[in-house]
Amino acid sequence: MAIEKVGVVGAGQMGNGIAHVFALSGYDVLLTDISQDALDAGRETITHNLDRQIHRGTITEADRDTALGRIETTLTLTDLGPTDLIIEAATERETVKTAIFEDLLPHLKPETILTSNTSSISITRLASRTDRPEKFMGFHFMNPVPVMQLVELIRGIATDKPTFDTLHGLVETLGKTASTSEDFPAFIVNRILMPMINEAIYTLYEGVGSVRSIDTSLKLGANHPMGPLELADFIGLDTCLAIMNVLHDGLADTKYRPCPLLTKYVEAGWLGRKTKRGFYDYSGEEPVPTR
């Protein structure tokens, strides 16, 4: 299965990063979103991150210009029909993802591979709503995509070997490393990471420690590059809550119950860095704990 042109659905934090790494690795990319503002912001982020790579000496200005020239944008989802591979990177809601695939199906080539960047939703279930479950996989990049080296590959129950082999080889061409996960809620990384973040929020909720002390303890006591609450803000508290709900619902174990404080922050619209407020307030020059 030869992959030359890649369609990316969603120009947000994950989608623009995926478009970035594919374009830089020599693939033509067609990026779509529901608003021109989102597409413009995504392209601006890609340009900014490519410039950062230039300053670090990992790419040249010519590399940046060539990569940007490989990225086209469109507001029309069905324009992605002629691509060889589609990576859905929309919001972490199953109804949204299912609707995207249903809209795409009549316009796809028979050989087009469909993938989702979902961090927790059943690949088998998503694939079953398409006309090609054997050509459907989970293709889970880590955030931020241009920096993080891992890609989780998740086979649905019907995924065939040629599809898996194609995507595994594709990861290598991106200069990244693949890990293979079975199709269980939250896969590997988030099955382990999100309960840790949730427990850190419980630790705050129960008054065991402050935001600052919890993050400092894990950074210096466990050698983590970011504290769990800082990381939750970076990921997005709405995403953290969605993944915990998938774990709780899918595994029916009370140890995955989302902390009430996490739910309260999401209800308040305090979603982390993207809203300038979460466990930290990001409105000033330096983040300040909100509790």
Instruction: Give me the CATH number covering residue 29.
Output: 3.40.50.720
**Catalytic-residue membership of 25:** no
pTM: 0.90
Model pLDDT, residue 1: 73
Catalytic residue among 49, 117, 140, 181: 140
Nearest-angstrom CA–CA distance, 9 and 32: 5
Place of tokens 């983040």: 287
Active-site entry in 88, 190, 198, 230: 190
| 168 and 71 in a common domain | yes
Domains in the chain, number: 2
- Walk across the sheet containing 85-88 and list its strands: 71-74, 28-32, 5-9, 85-88, 113-116, 136-141, 150-155, 177-181
Asked if residue 112 and residue 38 are part of one domain, the reply reads yes
Per-residue pLDDT, 234: 94
Q: Are residues 141 and 16 in the same domain?
A: yes
Q: Please tell me the predicted confidence (pLDDT) of residue 176.
A: 98
Q: How many Å apart are CA 7 and CA 19, to the nearest integer?
A: 8
- Is residue 262 domain-shared with residue 168, that is, in the same domain? no
Residue 190 a catalytic site member: yes
- Domain CATH code at residue 236: 1.10.1040.50
Active site residue 119: yes
Q: Which one of the listed residues 49, 117, 119, 120 is annotated catalytic? A: 119
Residue-wise pLDDT tens for the chain (291 aa)? 799 999 999 999 999 999 999 999 999 999 999 999 999 999 999 999 999 999 999 999 999 999 999 999 999 999 999 999 999 999 889 999 999 999 999 999 999 999 999 988 999 999 999 999 999 999 999 999 999 999 999 999 999 999 999 999 999 999 999 999 999 999 999 999 999 999 999 999 999 999 999 999 999 999 999 999 999 999 999 999 999 999 999 999 999 999 999 999 999 999 999 999 999 999 999 999 999
| Catalytic annotation, pick one of 152, 181, 198, 230 | 152
Residue 7 C-beta-side C-alpha neighbours within 13 Å:
29
Is 4 tagged catalytic? no
Cα 279 from Cα 283, distance rounded (Å): 12
* Shared-domain flag, residues 77 and 60: yes
CA nearest neighbour of 211 among 189, 233, 242: 233
* Tokens, residue 43: 């392209």
What distance in Å separates the CA atoms of residue 93 and residue 118, rounded to the nearest whole number? 9
- Answer yes or no: are the C-beta atoms of 88 and 15 closer than 8 Å: no
Look at residue 6 in the predicted model and tell me its pLDDT. 98
Query: Phi first, then psi: what are they for 142, rounded to 5°?
Result: -95, 155
- Check whether residue 125 and residue 84 sit in a common domain: yes
Give the number of C-alpha atoms closer than 13 A to the C-alpha of residue 291, restricted to the C-beta side: 21
Do 209 and 253 reside in the same domain of the chain?
Answer: yes
Q: For residue range 115-152, what is the model confidence (pLDDT) as tens digits?
A: 999 988 999 999 999 999 999 999 999 999 999 999 99
**Predicted local confidence at residue 171, as pLDDT:** 98
Query: What is the domain extent for residue 172?
Result: 5-181
| Cα gap 278→271, rounded to integer Å | 5
| Radius of gyration for the alpha carbons in the chain, expressed in angstroms and rounded | 19
Packing angle of the helix pair 228-235, 189-205 (nearest 10 deg):
120
N- to C-terminal Cα distance for the chain?
A: 52
User: At 9, which helix (H) or strand (E)?
Assistant: strand 5-9
Q: Residue 56: what pLDDT?
A: 96
DSSP 194-225: HHHHHHHHHHHHTTSS-HHHHHHHHHHHS--S
Residues 80 and 161 in one domain: yes
pLDDT at 289: 97
